């Protein structure tokens, strides 16, 4: 089995918050992850990110751009899964709200700040305390593998 490519999208609002969705029916069930999905054959990162975001949330994103990438081995599923995650970022229209377009895959969307996500990731890594949102593995690994990375409006606005 080879590693696959997953595209994950940070879509920022005017406050610099982004959306996380509560996963259902797949690996990482009940954890909160970024909207996204599999990179299809022949597709660009940008097209995949825009497509997945629209399919899952109904949101349109402007100026989607590459941010960073990481490597994720899911050992809690049999057979194990291995993904390279490409993190893309962009801004949505002011006041736009995500819709639950695929209730069989995602049961809720919520806006979170980078600091809130980091706080939950740290709780999960330390194993002490209870995170306010249990995070999907690629987000926890983002903090561990790319400690210098953080998201902001400025990063995705240009
Ligand atoms: P698709 O078959 O419709 O393209 O995918 P999906 O039904 O939307 O599946 P998904 O689980 O949302 O995304 C596909 C894979 O992408 C997922 O199983 C693992 C990988 N992936 C990462 N990081 C992230 C992430 O942060 N968010 C999402 N949604 N997927 C991610 O490696
Ligand atoms: Mg998805």
Three-state DSSP at 144 gives helix
Q: What is the 102 CA–ligand 2 centroid distance (Å)?
A: 9
- Evaluate: CB of 37 within 6 angstroms of ligand 1: yes
Q: On the CB side of 138, how many CA atoms lie within 13 Å of its CA?
A: 28
Helix (H) or strand (E) holding 35: none
pTM of the model as a whole: 0.96
Residue-number span of the structural domain to which 55 is assigned: 4-157
pLDDT, tens digit only, all 158 positions of the chain: 899 999 999 999 999 999 999 999 888 999 999 999 999 999 999 999 999 999 999 999 988 999 999 999 999 899 999 999 999 999 999 999 999 999 999 999 999 999 999 999 999 999 999 999 999 999 999 999 999 999 998 888 87
Residue 32, domain CATH: 3.90.79.10
Ligand 1: which of 8, 21, 36 to mutate, most ligand atoms within 8 Å of CB? Answer: 36
Q: Provide the domain count of the chain.
A: 1
CB pairs under 8 A, 24+ apart, for 95-104? 96/13, 96/59, 96/60, 98/19, 98/21, 98/35, 98/56, 98/57, 98/58, 98/59, 99/57, 99/58, 101/55, 101/56, 101/57, 101/58, 102/55, 102/56, 103/24, 104/24, 104/25
- Evaluate: CB of 117 within 6 angstroms of ligand 1: no
């Amino acid at each position: 089995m080879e590693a696959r490519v997953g595209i994950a999208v940070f879509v920022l609002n005017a406050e610099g918050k982004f959306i996380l969705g509560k996963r259902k029916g797949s690996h990482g069930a009940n954890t909160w992850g970024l909207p996204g999905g599999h990179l299809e054959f022949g597709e660009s990162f940008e097209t995949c990110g825009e497509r997945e975001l629209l399919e899952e949330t109904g949101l349109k994103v402007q100026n989607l751009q590459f941010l960073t990438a990481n490597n994720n081995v899911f050992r809690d599923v049999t057979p194990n899964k291995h993904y390279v995650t490409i993190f893309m970022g962009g801004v949505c229209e002011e006041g736009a709200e995500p819709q639950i377009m695929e209730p069989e895959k995602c049961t809720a969307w919520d806006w979170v700040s980078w600091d809130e996500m980091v706080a939950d990731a740290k709780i999960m890594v330390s194993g002490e305390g209870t995170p306010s949102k249990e995070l999907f593995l690629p987000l926890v690994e983002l903090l561990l593998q790319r400690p210098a990375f953080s998201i902001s409006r400025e990063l995705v606005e240009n």
